[in-house]
A and B are shown apart, each in its own frame.
Chain A
Amino acid sequence: MRTAEVPRSGTYLLANAVAGLLTLLVSVLLLAAGGVLAVVVVGLPLLAGLALIGLPVAAIERQLQRLIDARPLPHRHRVPPEPGLASWLRTRYTEPGTWRELGFAALLMTVLWPVDLLAVVLGVTVPLALLATPVLFGTLGDGEQVNVLKAYPVTSWSQAFLSFAAGVVAAVACAFGLVLLARMRAAVARAVLLPRRDLDQTVVELTRSRVRLVDAFEAERSRIERDLHDGAQQRLVALTVILGLARLDAEARLRPDARLKADGCREADARMDDGGGSDADVPVDADGRLEPDGRLEADGRLEADDRIEADRLLAEQLGRAHDEAGRALVELRELIRGIHPAVLNDFGLEAAFADLADRCPVPVDVEFAVPQRFSAAIESAAYFVVAEALANLAKHSGAARGAITGGYAAGTLTVEIGDDGCGGADIESGTGLLGLADRVSVVGGRLSLSSPPGGPTRLIVEIPCRPFG
């Protein structure tokens, strides 16, 4: 405790006492006037206005607390959605902050202010009176007698100085007492005005940030899908076109008629070489290029066979590359579909569910008629729940048949996935459903699972929402 805190605490308590007294007066006046005038209706707004008395009281308290507490005491009032008195009143009457402040005002005018006042009065007067005893004894009492605090008489100087000494002790004690009381007082105000560290506000903020995250996640998914689709996928298709054409060329060279033509050319070339070589005035060289015709033709055929072999190899490799590119294309297409199905984007949930049911190895009946469209986050949440449910159905349930049912009614989108399998599914058991439950809860929906051992399994998604457009 610092000494500067003593006058501040005193001021705080005194101001509070005054404020409490004023609040009491105003409240009583309003209550009386309102009660009397209620008969002629005018009084009713006055009584209603009484409920708002906590607003100025809390505002004063917030200001006063700055005297003794460095921590801010923020108000928890919402900003009215529209300008104007009506909107302001609606906001105030419907938020918990207003009622909390009214409660504080009630506490202040019934309990707190008399305590504050009493503490200040006693804490100041008692030490002062004791300290002043020697002076009073010498002046007013003429050195004979003075009544300290109108309680006990002092008749000698020694008693007077003893009283002074008691005053010093009392001053210190009262200073401590006042500071302690002020702190307690401030703590009470804080507890009433800022309960539970404003949990609901925190929850609202958390929910908002989760929604932002999911939206960002959704946007990122579509961006990745778009990039893959417009980039890698198109390039791969272009590549298969080039490879396809090259393969065509290579295979054309291997066709018998083409080969015959090529062989014919080669033979003609060989004959020309041969013709040139057989001229008598050209000396025969050591390499034996001018060997008899038969051997040369055999060489040419050998060479041609090599070329055909090379062509065949090339065609084979081109074919392999082509097939591989084709497989990559199929894989990429499935990958893109898994990231963000285009059919959901373009045609909505109904078509997307029909498509999921088509792909499921177990027969799945679809009785889901929802022509409406919803926000991307909602459609996507519902879609991926169904996708996951059908994947589980095919993998673990042992079901012979599944069904997707549901619809949109009274502001709620409902999808139910059922099967006649063995049951025993658990939302917590790492089936991927837990993450989906989170996604559904972010868009304000619920995921419920009923899967007793022995079946049947029913998974229900309910999302309160409004359709688009």
Chain B
Amino acid sequence: MPTLRVVLAEDSVLLRDGLAGLLARFGHEVVAAVGDGDGLREAVAEHEPDVVVTDVRMPPGFRDEGLRTALELRRRRPGLPVLVLSQYVETRYATELLNAGDGTHLGYLLKDRIGHVTEFVDALNRVVDGGTVVDPEVVRQMLRRHRDPLAALTAREREVLALVAEGRSNLAIATELTVAEASVAKHIRNILQKLGLPQTEETHRRVLAVLTFLRS
């Protein structure tokens, strides 16, 4: 494991010292430890580090200065490895970061992860090696947004939708499932409603539903 030259931006002295100690313990060198965005910018310009580790929230505004500075550094030096530490599980912060450049050499970790020291150091190495690291908790949150559109359907409704996708008519489906044709129509109405398909021409919605089914 090669020695990494790290620039560290974290306004809490306690945590900054903790991180510096942690990195030293794994043989890395903290070439500069700063407490705000301006300091981070200067330190990166001066030391040309192998990797930048920064907190999201920093002075003077105590909002997302760290994230903003990280994005700015990436714009100026694409490919600069940046690991952002955050207390926010909200996916918006991670998305902002991951959209910077080609998305490689980036990491967004919850501060909780620092305590899992080997995981943390491993993540740091992966970021330096060109990887993209996102905190598992944040990934979970992101996945929740892109929910399976079919998740809301009942088993029977899925069955019906599968048969619709095979191109069968309502009557054919009713025969196949040995139910009344009217209840098939009702299932299809429910499916269209659950998939959030707008009430336009029936045939068109049916195709959209099938497309949704095939995509998932």
Do A and B interact with each other, yes or no?
yes
Q: Which chain A residues have a beta carbon within 8 Å of chain B's beta carbons? A: 226, 229-230, 233-235, 237-245, 248, 322, 325-326, 329-330, 333, 336-337, 341-343, 345-347, 351, 354-355, 357-359, 363, 365, 400-401, 420
In the assembled complex, the CB of A17 is this many whole angstroms from the nearest CB of chain B, namely: 69
Which residues, 156 to 208 on B, are CB-close (under 8 Å) to A?
A: 193-194, 196
Could you write out 21 A-B pairs with CB less than 8 Å apart? A233-B111, A237-B15, A241-B18, A241-B22, A244-B22, A244-B116, A322-B115, A325-B115, A326-B112, A326-B115, A329-B115, A330-B112, A333-B87, A342-B57, A342-B90, A358-B141, A358-B145, A363-B147, A363-B151, A363-B152, A420-B193
In the assembled complex, the CB of A251 is this many whole angstroms from the nearest CB of chain B, namely: 10
B63 near A346: Cβ-Cβ < 8 Å: yes
Residue in B closest to A350 when the chains form the complex, CB atoms = B92
In the assembled complex, the CB of A410 is this many whole angstroms from the nearest CB of chain B, namely: 26
In the assembled complex, the CB of A448 is this many whole angstroms from the nearest CB of chain B, namely: 24
**CA A238 to CA B12, docked complex, whole Å:** 10
Q: Which residues of A contact B118 (CB under 8 A)?
A: 248
Q: Tell yes or no: B213 within 8 A of A by CB.
A: no
**CA A346 to CA B152, docked complex, whole Å:** 32
Q: Tell yes or no: B1 within 8 A of A by CB.
A: no
Total A-B contacts with CB atoms under 8 angstroms apart? 102
- Interface of A (DSSP majority class): helix
Given A226-B62, A229-B57, verify A237-B115 contact (CB < 8 Å). Answer: yes
A401 near B196: Cβ-Cβ < 8 Å: yes
A234 near B92: Cβ-Cβ < 8 Å: no
Determine which residue in A234, A235, A337, A420 has the highest number of CB atoms from chain B within 10 A of its CB, and name it: A234
B117 near A241: Cβ-Cβ < 8 Å: yes
Residue in A closest to B89 when the chains form the complex, CB atoms = A333
Q: Tell yes or no: B19 within 8 A of A by CB.
A: yes
**CA A329 to CA B86, docked complex, whole Å:** 12
**CA A354 to CA B145, docked complex, whole Å:** 8
Interface string of B10-36 (1 = CB under 8 A from A): 011011001101100100000000000
Which residues, 112 to 136 on B, are CB-close (under 8 Å) to A?
A: 112, 114-118
- Interface of B (DSSP majority class): helix
**CA A346 to CA B57, docked complex, whole Å:** 10
A237 near B91: Cβ-Cβ < 8 Å: no
Given A226-B62, A358-B141, verify A238-B87 contact (CB < 8 Å). Answer: no
Q: Which chain B residues have a beta carbon within 8 Å of chain A's beta carbons? A: 11-12, 14-15, 18-19, 21-22, 25, 57, 62-64, 87-93, 111-112, 114-118, 141, 144-145, 147, 151-152, 193-194, 196
**CA A358 to CA B144, docked complex, whole Å:** 6
B194 near A230: Cβ-Cβ < 8 Å: no
Q: Which residues of B contact A242 (CB under 8 A)?
A: 18
Q: Which residues of A contact B115 (CB under 8 A)?
A: 237, 239-241, 243-244, 322, 325-326, 329
Residue in A closest to B114 when the chains form the complex, CB atoms = A241
**CA A237 to CA B120, docked complex, whole Å:** 13
In the assembled complex, the CB of B191 is this many whole angstroms from the nearest CB of chain A, namely: 12
B112 near A343: Cβ-Cβ < 8 Å: no
A365 near B87: Cβ-Cβ < 8 Å: no
B112 near A244: Cβ-Cβ < 8 Å: no
A230 near B112: Cβ-Cβ < 8 Å: no
Given A248-B117, A401-B196, verify A238-B92 contact (CB < 8 Å). Answer: no
In the assembled complex, the CB of A347 is this many whole angstroms from the nearest CB of chain B, namely: 5
Given A336-B87, A342-B57, A343-B90, verify A400-B152 contact (CB < 8 Å). Answer: yes
**CA A341 to CA B90, docked complex, whole Å:** 9
Q: Which residues of A contact B152 (CB under 8 A)?
A: 363, 400-401
Q: Which residues of A contact B19 (CB under 8 A)?
A: 241
**CA A345 to CA B56, docked complex, whole Å:** 13
Q: Which residues of B contact A346 (CB under 8 A)?
A: 63-64, 92-93
**CA A392 to CA B63, docked complex, whole Å:** 30
**CA A377 to CA B14, docked complex, whole Å:** 33
A400 near B87: Cβ-Cβ < 8 Å: no
Q: Which residues of B contact A363 (CB under 8 A)?
A: 147, 151-152
Q: Which residues of B contact A347 (CB under 8 A)?
A: 92
Q: Which residues of B contact A233 (CB under 8 A)?
A: 87, 111
Given contacts A241-B19, A336-B87, A400-B194, 8 further A-B contacts (CB under 8 A): A234-B14, A235-B14, A238-B12, A322-B115, A342-B87, A347-B92, A363-B151, A401-B152
A-B pairs, 10 with minimum CB distance: A240-B115, A234-B12, A343-B90, A244-B117, A241-B18, A244-B115, A238-B14, A238-B18, A351-B92, A237-B111
**CA A337 to CA B12, docked complex, whole Å:** 20
Determine which residue in A238, A248, A351 has the highest number of CB atoms from chain B within 10 A of its CB, and name it: A238
Residue in A closest to B115 when the chains form the complex, CB atoms = A240
